[in-house]
Amino acid sequence: MQLLKYKISLLLLILVIVAGCGKNNEKVYPNPYAGGRSPLGVKFSEELPAPSQGSAGDKVTFKVTGLLPYKDSIHFFMSEQEAKVVAVTDGTITIIVPAGSSSGSAYVNIGQQVFQSPVFKVIGKVKLDNTFKSGTGADDYINYLLPTSDNRYLMVGAFKQYNSNGVGDPLNGIAMIEKHGQFVPAFQTDSAVYGTGSVSSAVQLPDGKFIIGGFFTRYGRMKDINQLTRINAGGLIDTTTVQIIPTETSSGNAHEDDPNATEKNSFDTVPAFNGGTTGIVQKVLYYNNRVITIGTIYGYLQKFYRNSTKTIRYIDTRRVNSVLATDRDGNLDSTYHYNLATHEGLPGANGSIIDGFLLPGGKLVLAGSFNKFDGIAAGNIVCLDANGNLDPAFRAGTGANDRIYSAKYNAVTRKIIITGNFQSYNGIPCNGIMLLNEDGSPVSTFLPKQFHSGTASHAIQLNNGLIVVAGFFNRYDNYVREGMVIINPDGTLAAGYNNTGKMIGFVYGMQETTSAEGELAVIVYGAITSFDNTRVGNIFRMVIEK
């Protein structure tokens, strides 16, 4: 999934370059159809309808000319739901907003002709939260939003700016924001992972510090970092002083000249977290003094400073696969998913780990694209016990029959929600989404409907049981839901909760929270350009009313 995010950014860049090529050579010609007659003489006014917003069952009047001769053959649609036409005049049409409709443009159908109307906003139980002060948002994708102990969010990704902050001093993938979206300027990162890096995940330790993981080789002035490091609560990298082999002095002898210089050259300031990995870090987790790193990773790295100089580092390497456990200082935990006899990690997944989370008691659920884990057949999802071994009590059976994009756990409902390309789970048809019990077995009452023209890529279950689903679809069941849908715990469309318009972009995460007024809300983030006909900068919050 991390590679997918990089490819998305590259694709968008290519599209911008291609679109911009040859602009100076373009000639502008007049529209040959300008001023022409509309088909059948029907034409909607550009004015908004009256009222410009309303709920299912409300009467709405659109200004349109030319409909009267066809009043007996008119069909009016909102979100592909046919609306009842109650009046047609030579200058208007009045309809009743149908149930199941969402914000956006509507259209009139007369025979084979279709006439688009202005946008109508459907009022329901979901709305864009204007009390979330993200402003212009982030200028690049956001990978993860971590709730912190002081009621803020640590935001990580590949962005350089957030709501115009970072223009002169780029944020480089990490920022702190208040609960309601305001940027926290006191959080200083010393250029963080610089322009070539990105941060995919973070976890807060009991002392307030953070472990961050991603794709980076430096943080601030500290170089030679391997995808993992620890930062202080204020944003700067956590450092320590270590003894090293002293470098030569001006005379060429490490033990001559100024004794103070020799003493100085015998020590170096280095990152306090002395551990790293090769590959791609998807997520960093923490449980019981153990830092667990998951992803498509292949090795563990640690610097042996006593055998190193300031310019040449001695590095100890160990082969690990998919899962890596360390203590808070980066030292390898050889009691977790590790074979002491061979001094290497267990085989792990024969594919990629895309997502994962911890269950109560320290069990770890991993999901992605693999058919074997530690040499045992697996259907793209497994559970490890508190020691990092496969948990035989996890009842996934044959699992998902294709890739899983996201796997999330709700500690209140004690349910797992997974999404992806799969069409069955343990032999049960499920259309790319499935609700599971803690033991991996499917919830028998969850019967999802069909996603059209795409699939679900991300979902969370809220504490009240509702499920928010995002993806690359334009319908759920027979209802138009472009990019986002809210469903009940049984898989049916949640009545009144699907009034919002189209969402354009890729969702990488969602976080349940509350609005400034104390209402239930969800922060949605990723690589998102617009939601409900409103531009958003890769992050927005929506209110979900009772």
Q: Whole-angstrom Cα distance, residue 24 to residue 542? A: 42
Going from the C-alpha of 142 to that of each of 186, 268, 348, the distances in angstroms are 20, 34, 28
pTM (predicted TM-score): 0.88
Query: In 3D, which of 38, 39, 111, 120 has the Cα closest to residue 75?
Result: 111
Supply 420's token pair.
């992806």
Q: Which residues pair with 88 in a beta bridge?
A: 93
SS3 of 197-258: CEEEEEEECCCCCEEEEEECCCECCECCCCCEEEECCCCCECEEEEECCCCCCCCCCCCCCC
Question: Rounded to the nearest 5°, which phi and psi values hold at 41?
Answer: 75, 15
Going from the C-alpha of 457 to that of each of 272, 403, 406, the distances in angstroms are 37, 10, 7
- The SS3 assignment for 304 reads coil
> What percent helix, strand, coil does the chain show, rounded to 5?
5, 45, 50
Supply 260's token pair.
């103070």
Q: Whole-angstrom Cα distance, residue 422 to residue 437? A: 18
Going from the C-alpha of 331 to that of each of 140, 226, 275, 335, 415, the distances in angstroms are 33, 14, 6, 12, 33
Q: Which domains does the chain have, with CATH numbers?
A: 39-123 (2.60.40.10)
User: What one-character-per-residue DSSP string does 403-434 give?
Assistant: -EEEEEEETTTTEEEEEES-SEETTEE-TTEE
Q: pLDDT tens digits, the chain, 546 residues: what are they?
A: 444 454 444 443 333 333 344 434 434 444 443 444 467 889 999 999 999 999 989 999 999 999 999 999 999 999 888 999 999 999 999 999 998 888 888 999 999 899 999 999 999 999 999 999 999 999 999 999 999 999 999 999 999 999 999 999 999 999 999 999 999 999 999 999 999 999 999 999 999 999 999 999 999 999 999 999 999 999 999 999 999 999 765 444 544 555 565 667 899 999 999 999 999 999 999 999 999 999 999 999 999 999 999 899 999 999 999 999 999 999 999 999 999 999 999 999 999 999 999 999 999 999 999 999 999 999 999 999 999 999 999 999 999 999 999 999 999 999 999 999 999 999 999 999 999 999 999 999 999 999 999 999 999 999 999 999 999 999 999 899 999 999 999 999 999 999 999 999 999 999 999 999 999 999 999 999 999 989 999 999 999 998
